[in-house]
Amino acid sequence: MPVLLALAAVALIAADTVTPLDPLRAFGSAVYGGLEDAASSGVRWASGAGRLEDLERENARLRADLLAVRRATPSPAQGNGYQVVSAHAVGFGRDGTVTIDAGAGAGVTPDMTVFDGDGLVGRVLRTGPGTATVQLATASGASVGARLEGSREVGLVTGVPEHGLLRLGLLNPSADVKPGDRVVTLGSRDLRPFVPDVPIGTVISVEPAPDALTRTALVRPFARFTALENVTVVLGPLPDAGPDGQAVPDTAADAPTTQQQPEKTPEKSKKSKKKKKTKKKDSSGHAEGA
């Protein structure tokens, strides 16, 4: 009898646990559970997208702030008597050019010197209202008047675009040039297209040509033309600078004034000497002439 009661209890428990509605409940759980998971994923995705948009806006704001600070920061060239404007490289061409985000609206015109923190970049070819196209010094057909920084020997630098190098042809075939010598710009009339003494690069090899009319050397440029970012454009000499960009002294401040101090009369000079003499003590501690 107890065994039968136990079996009956187990049967009732099983009947209460497994009901005809269980398959329907399982289906509903699967459907609504999937919808709940999808909704939760959608919320997470929307939240992530919102954070991404916030980061993009913050990045754009920081870039704008950085550009404003860079343009407001004086360049070292300004200390040399030049008026400059800073810009950012925004595009590169296959013809050895780069586009910068400063144009006619910023005072940029063709045939202006462009350099960066490493050295010479090139010259402005053409301008638009807000951008300008710069010909790189390594471009095919580009040429820059140059000189050796040490000996001041003069020559011409041309681009070797296939290797990213420069070729220096010195006018003096007997010029003393060796690897490691620094090359700078010679400078142009009216500072266009190149201002003087901008670093160009370093000599890496000298081509042997004993019978040539010029001395030729290969130069590795200081500027990294494949990684340009911030550049500076030389607009011209500062208002108080000479035609070569050197600061002109303020003649009004340096010149002597036209109103001269009145000279001391002999009588006043004599009284002054006598006054000093009465203040002088002798060895006994008494004033002389007292």
> In this predicted model, what pLDDT tens digit does every residue of 261-278 receive, in sequence order?
444 545 544 455 554 444
Confidence of residue 126 (pLDDT cuts 50, 70, 90): very high
Q: Which residues lie closer than 8 Å to 160 by C-beta, 6 or more apart?
A: 138, 166, 167, 218
Residue 58 has pLDDT above 70, yes or no: yes
- Looking at 51, 73, 95, which one is the last position of a domain? 73
CATH assignment of the domain containing 219: 2.40.10.350
Q: Is residue 17 part of a domain?
A: no
Q: Domain limits at 176?
A: 83-237
Answer yes or no: is pLDDT of 216 > 90.
yes
Statement to judge: residues 87 and 231 lie in one domain: yes
Higher pLDDT, 214 or 142: 142
165 strand-pairing partners: 160
In the predicted model, is pLDDT for residue 100 greater than 80? yes
Residue 59 lies in a domain: yes
Same domain, 130 and 203: yes
CA distance 118 to 200: 9
Number of other residues whose CB lies within 10 A of the CB of residue 246: 14
Based on the domain organization, do 67 and 91 belong to the same domain?
no
Give the residue with greater pLDDT, 157 vs 75. 157
- The two three-digit tokens of residue 27, written as one number: 């289906």
pTM over 0.75: no
Within this chain, do residues 155 and 91 fall inside the same structural domain, yes or no? yes
pLDDT in tens, 222-262: 999 999 999 999 999 988 655 555 443 333 333 343 444 44
- Same domain, residue pair 64 and 180: no
Residue with tokens 């997470």: 44
Within this chain, do residues 67 and 187 fall inside the same structural domain, yes or no? no
Whether residue 126 is contained in a domain is answered as yes
- Residue spans of beta strands (DSSP E) within the chain: 82-92, 97-100, 113-115, 120-127, 132-136, 143-148, 154-160, 165-170, 182-185, 199-207, 215-221, 230-237
Tell which of 237, 252, 284 closes a domain: 237
Supply the pLDDT for residue 41: 55
Is position 151 within any domain? yes
- Which residues touch 218 (CB under 8 Å, ≥6 apart)? 160, 165, 166, 167, 168, 203, 204, 205, 206, 207
Residue 184 placed within a domain: yes
In this prediction, residue 209 carries a pLDDT of 74
Least-confidence region, from 96-100, 115-119, 149-153, 162-166:
162-166
Q: List CB contacts of 225: < 8 A, sequence separation 6 or more.
A: 98, 121, 136, 137, 138, 164
- Residue 62 sits in the same domain as residue 92: no
DSSP one-letter string for 66-134: HHHHHHHSPPGGGGGTEEEEEEEEEEE-TTSEEEES--GGGT--SS-EEE-SSSEEEEEEEE-SS-EEE
Tokens 């070797």 belong to residue: 160
Q: Is residue 213 part of a domain?
A: yes
Lowest mean pLDDT, pick from 39-48, 109-118, 224-233: 39-48
Name the residue with tokens 């329907």.
24
- Enumerate the β-bridge partners of residue 237: 82
Band of residue 212 on the pLDDT scale cut at 50, 70, 90: confident
In a domain, 158, yes or no: yes
Residue 166's pLDDT band (cuts 50, 70, 90): very high
48 and 152 belong to one structural domain: no
pLDDT of 200 above 90 = yes
Pair (55, 151) in one structural domain: no
Domain count, the chain: 2
Note the residue count of the chain.
Answer: 290
| Predicted confidence band of residue 44 (pLDDT cuts 50, 70, 90) | low
